Structure 1
């Protein structure tokens, strides 16, 4: 039975980690996107082919697209959304014409993920991404200054946020702001605060139910077309999997995953299983999610998080932390076994290590790569996960 397909995310030639370096750590496939194409525009055949040729020239495969981002008009249900949906479908057709059939995307509002510290120093001396609900509340209340924000938080949280913020220097306040506004993987450009405020005000007017309806509308428009051309759409969970700055989450738990799969049943409507995003909530049973939705999982992100009693969490090493990664891996291998026995086409599900620590020589080039996407830290994660997978297989296969 085939192993998981080992992949690595790469952000293009300007990224501080090269394909030559990635090839040395034993990956088979690259997870990439046409970063330079403006949001909502069609990825041309030529642009896709150029990136694919660059990857293949290094003896690697472009295994998964991450991400074909979704225009805010689609997320917010604006009148022009049909135009952007048509563009999206054409991009999928152009990817399929280039032999690329696995597309990861997300439906997160405002930013792709939220962290309050991008360089949290660990006892080992390495550093990781970190989220603090107190720091997030301080940003919301005293930097973003959202109207009626206090109604979102308990009196205790507001008091702690006030105390936390008052103790920050101006430089520390700026660092907090930049950490939150940097939540777009693949870009070193911060979101402007006024732009964030504008988008934030717009999405706060939309209910959770309406956001789910907007997702359903999008899926029912694109999935039939994706199915015709053999493309698997794999939605990434919200990160973190709970409301931030008063914005609803709609892809964060078992029930929400079930909703999006049920609203448009199709082999092409699938999931990116991210153990870190889902694992940041103790309410999520990750093993059950794999067991119940395994046939819909077409892409896997494996990482770990250490949850703390105060609601904060940081990116732990891949085999440590609060996520029972051994049980998760066992459930994934069991799903592969089921596929193999049923003669299904895709058994080697693409998997990538996610959000590695900044370690050793990573520290010398920290300004070159994007937060969470170090070379050595992710390579260490891949090695740990590969060993775990092999060990578990001895008792299953």
Structure 2
């Protein structure tokens, strides 16, 4: 795999030298300073490339390996008439990225919110801090802070009552912390959502159910994927995080069936997947190794992290990368086999970009302010563990190779 790490630009407390010293060759970043929906000029793309490569002459080389993310404007997700211009802008950005040598672009199609958590500093047994999602805490925000109309229908009676009792004894500081955590904007963005206008954003989806959102996604991908294919870019959608509806908003990229339906809706190789083991792994009904095997040829980017489901299956926290509910050995083995298959088929570059997704805030980073989930040392630990696992799997396969011919015909067409 091409080992990479996410970098949020010049203001990221984690520097390019930190990423270089972690053993990465690739940088995963985006032009967070540009408004969502605006085309990305070649000049801005090249400026970011120069920044990443500035020290390559004297130090281990880095390059911009993956765009994460090129955001999809809300008008596209809502299917509004204005989407045509935003889709045209998106295609212009893809052409400019390709002209500058970028080949992998990650995006998501989650309405309003990106990833959602209720705690960004959950203390683990070893004293490190992790990201966590608690369904009852989310109900507190939804029912008692936001007071979304009709929200009670989305929660079991016992959960709703417990949430109201919890809210009654919360301090103003605890309420503010929960509110700010839920309303975090896109990772790396300078802005979070504001509570006063948040309900209005939700109201704009009142008439958009899962089927309508799905059709809006398919309309978008049918327009942009052929352009991506033409210019040599792999698009890869990120699964929903968490992979179930929140705040009355539908989610349509949460299961293997969702992924298969998306690929069937636009069957070109450029229409691919960001295989995120953390997002998909929250659902017990997602067999991650099977998903990697089924959709291997369409996996263009990999996020490796492990989540741990708690007693309430809708509660989870970010576990160590080789712990939690993700069978990381089985997953990485399938990904290594996919890379071997590509190499045997003569692919120009068989290595799939991979980054260790999220990480515990630990050691010296506990005294620093970083983007939630993106401190340096926790991700360094995760990458070291994953690199060792990959190395061991490759050595084992070299000693007793598995024939690529084992792959079913249906998977080869995925």
TM over 0.5: yes
Which ranges of structure 1 fall in alignment gaps of 5 or more residues? none
Measure the CA separation in 2 of the matches of 1:189 and 1:38.
11
User: In the alignment, what sits opposite 1:34?
Assistant: 31
Which residue of the other structure, out of 7, 12, 15, is the alignment partner of 1:10? 7
1:326-371 C-alpha deviation (Å, 9 max, x unpaired): 1111111111121122222331100000111001111121x2x211
CA contact (8 A) 2:185 2:191 kept: no
Residue 18 (structure 1) shift = 0.8
Instruction: State which of 248, 251, 254 in structure 2 corresponds to 1:252.
Output: 254
Matches within 5 A, 1:378-389: 378-389=379-390
| Deviation sequence 1:213-254 (CA, Å, 0-9, x none) | 000000011111111101100000000001112211100101
Cα offsets for 1:60-107 (capped at 9, x unmatched): 110000000010000000010000000000000000110001000000
Q: Which moved more, 1:112-121 or 1:150-159?
A: 150-159
User: Is the aligned partner of 1:44 residue 2:41?
Assistant: yes
Correspondent of 2:367 among 360, 364, 368: 364
1:355 aligns with 2:358: yes
CA distance in 1, matches of 2:165, 2:394: 50
How far off its partner does 1:163 sit? 2.0
Equivalent position to 1:314, from 313, 317, 329: 317
Q: 2:326 aligns with which of 323, 326, 349?
A: 323
SS in 2 for 1:394: helix
8 A contact 1:114–1:183 mirrored in 2: no
How many Å separate the matches in 1 of 2:74 and 2:191?
18
Aligned equivalents of 1:291, 1:218: Cα separation in 2? 26
TM-score norm. by structure 2 comes to 0.93
Say which of 100, 103, 111 aligns to 2:102: 100
Cα separation, 2, equivalents of 1:393 and 1:15: 34
d(CA) in 2 for partners of 1:363, 1:331: 35
Which residue in the other structure is 2:401 paired with?
none
Q: Measure, in 1, the Cα distance between the counterparts of 2:67 and 2:171.
A: 41
Contact 2:33 2:189 in 1 (8 A): no
Q: Deviations over 1:28-74 (max 9, x none)?
A: 00001011111110110100000011111133110000000010000
- CA deviations on 1:159-187 (whole Å, 9 max, x unpaired) are 12112222311111111001100142002
Structure 2 match to 1:200:
202
Give 1:143-292 correspondences, 5 Å limit. 143-292=145-294
In structure 2, C-alpha distance between the alignment counterparts of 1:297 and 1:167, rounded to whole Å? 46
1:189 Cα deviation from its structure 2 partner: 2.8
Contact 2:27 2:64 in 1 (8 A): yes
CA distance in structure 2 between the partners assigned to 1:288 and 1:395 by the alignment: 20
User: Partner residue of 2:348?
Assistant: 345
Corresponding residue SS for 1:213? helix
Task: Indicate the RMSD between aligned Cα atoms, in angstroms.
Answer: 1.0
Structure 1 residue 22 corresponds to structure 2 residue 25: no
What stretches of structure 2 of length at least 5 have no aligned partner? 57-61, 399-414
Q: Following TM superposition, by how much is the alpha carbon of 1:188 offset from its aligned partner in structure 2, in angstroms? A: 4.8
Q: Which moved more, 1:21-30 or 1:296-305?
A: 21-30
Distance 1:205 1:140 in 2: 19
